[in-house]
Structure 1
Amino acid sequence: MRTLLLSDVHANLAALEAVLQAASALGWDQAVSLGDALGYGPNPGEVLDLLQEVGVRCIAGNHDRWLLDLHPGTDGFLGGSVGAALRWQRARLNAAQLERVRGWPEWIEAEVGGRAELALCRHGSPRSLTTYVDSLARAREEFADWEGTLAFVGHTHLPGVYSTLEGPVGDWIKHHPLGGARTEAVQQLTLPPRARWIVNPGSVGQPRDGDPRAAFAIFDGERGVLEVHRVAYDLERTQAQLRAAGLPEVLAARLAEGR
């Protein structure tokens, strides 16, 4: 079983199209979107429709939930570029698209085969939609309170893996970063026997590791191998659409910097 992992698309259609084209050449059996399909970008409806067309299983991220919670006169809790983008997007989604997002669960278990058999899919961490797994200390807490073997998460926009292996002096925790400005187009990591993983494929639509290329991953459950891929996309097209929409300039500028 080959599982295509997408996360944090953030309404960036050009990035999603490039990722799906690259992934199609690699081959996959199932696809999961790990939340935040919405927020920040200029193509909310087009992204939702493409994810549905391709048959991607979607879970909710914090931006997806925030958009659903926006109501006239009660949406002041979100300010800055985050709120501006979500309000603009909400006004451009039709009732069917909003209902689709409303139906996304907070987490799912995906059959991946191999040693892990099942993977927990959640936006923030194995225990929370909004928690960032961004340090060894945080990963240790997650591993301590979650009994699974494999989790796929997003939220940080940083591709990498936290792993733990029980040893004679307690759990050994390690971080395997799989991103950065000088990252190869493909990086591979093998799941060792008895290890547990928290996997982040990085962000399709708004990378934050200094590399503006879109990130995605494929997990081969039978081989226990994770591949993180980077692919260039028409970044200028997305920037032009953001500016034409009158959205905050920071949303366009940050894409070129991968931050």
Structure 2
Amino acid sequence: MLIVRLLLVSDIHANLAAFEAVLADADRRGFDAVYCLGDALGYGPRPREVMRLLQTREASCVLGNHDAWALEFLRGEAPVRRDGVVGQALNWQLSCLTPNELEFLAQWPDGRDERVDGTDVRFRHGSPMSYLEYVDSLASAREAFGRWEGRVCCVGHTHVPGVYTTLQGPPGDWLRYQSLTAGGRFSVPPNARVILNPGSVGQPRDGDARASYGLLDVTRGIFEVVRVSYDIARTQVEVRAARLPDVLAARLEVGR
């Protein structure tokens, strides 16, 4: 099967209700392959079910910072405070995951470079060069374009959907940002280089509580961000039932 239309999901953060809503909506629209841009774990109440869905959908996954921190905790390291919000959630999630799911997680690389219908595409969580870095401003995008020579990179990490674009040549000559917080399509200009962010499935931070995901048609050069409503109250109940910090439930309804 020729793979040309990619479903891009990022920052699911163990929010099963949001992920199920995204998959149902994307199934109706159609796609050829699933790429998870990291942070399947962290914050949320349903880590096992999210990991199982990624396996069932044969998703190509890369590590996010929360996923990497979970693996570090398993090795006895302390990347973040265990009594902080992040550490509490990750330690609880690790107690839920089976050996099979942990083995699946351990296989994720920190980035992927793949050729999709004649186009080289990089998949990474944070920036083209690191899963920890943010591309969240024109200055950070200029730095990223300067350190990376590729044409198309798909990232997450900011929890905000949008596109940074630069023409070939010195990146300072022409650099633009297009917000896609309300959803919408972006046509990749000929000879341009782009960093595409589909936003967050499970914990949006752009003031819109709806789940966010992306569809990338590599052949046509079209990137689309889609916003999907989901049962936020269900996830809030699950967060509180797991006795995770209440802030992780409260923030979902305000998209922050």
Question: What amino acid does structure 2 have at the position aligned with 1:228?
Answer: V
Matched ranges for 1:117-196 at <5 A: 117-166=119-168, 171-179=173-181, 183=182, 186-196=183-193
TM-score (norm 1): 0.93
Residue 85 to residue 170, structure 1, CA distance change in 2 (3 Å): closer
Question: What amino acid does structure 2 have at the position aligned with 1:94?
Answer: T
Residue 164 to residue 72, structure 1, CA distance change in 2 (3 Å): closer
Distance 2:171 2:152 in 1: 22
Q: CA deviation at 1:31?
A: 1.1
Structure 2, gaps ≥5 residues long = none
Question: What amino acid does structure 1 have at the position aligned with 2:243?
Answer: G
Question: Is the aligned partner of 1:46 residue 2:49?
Answer: yes
Residue 225 to residue 146, structure 1, CA distance change in 2 (3 Å): same
Distance 1:86 1:102 in 2: 15
Q: 1:230 aligns with which of 204, 227, 230?
A: 227
RMSD: 1.7
Q: Report what 2:209 is aligned to.
A: 212
Q: CA deviation at 1:113?
A: 2.5
Question: Is the aligned partner of 1:94 residue 2:98?
Answer: yes
Contact 1:41 1:251 in 2 (8 A): yes
Distance 1:93 1:63 in 2: 15
Q: CA deviation at 1:80?
A: 1.7
Q: CA deviation at 1:170?
A: 5.0
Contact 1:8 1:34 in 2 (8 A): yes
Distance 1:44 1:37 in 2: 8
Q: CA deviation at 1:112?
A: 2.9
Residue 168 to residue 162, structure 1, CA distance change in 2 (3 Å): closer
Q: Report what 2:89 is aligned to.
A: 85
Distance 2:167 2:79 in 1: 45
Question: What amino acid does structure 2 have at the position aligned with 1:137?
Answer: A
Question: Is the aligned partner of 1:250 residue 2:252?
Answer: no
Distance 1:95 1:224 in 2: 40
Question: Is the aligned partner of 1:70 residue 2:70?
Answer: no
Distance 1:248 1:237 in 2: 16
Q: Report what 2:20 is aligned to.
A: 17
Q: What are the superposed Cα offsets for residues 6-58 of structure 1, whole Å, 9 maximum, x if unpaired? A: 00000000000000000000000111000000000000010000111011111
Post-superposition, which runs of at least 4 consecutive aligned residues in structure 1 deviate over 3 A?
71-77, 166-170
Contact 1:2 1:112 in 2 (8 A): no
Residue 46 to residue 173, structure 1, CA distance change in 2 (3 Å): same
Partner secondary structure for residue 5 of structure 1: strand
Equivalent pairs counted in the alignment come to 252
Distance 1:61 1:146 in 2: 19
Q: Report what 2:107 is aligned to.
A: 103
Q: CA deviation at 1:73?
A: 7.1
Q: CA deviation at 1:71?
A: 4.6
Q: CA deviation at 1:171?
A: 2.6
Contact 1:124 1:131 in 2 (8 A): yes
Distance 2:107 2:54 in 1: 14
Q: CA deviation at 1:94?
A: 1.1
Q: What are the superposed Cα offsets for residues 118-169 of structure 1, whole Å, 9 maximum, x if unpaired? A: 2100001001110000110110011011100000000000000000014799
TM-score (norm 2): 0.94
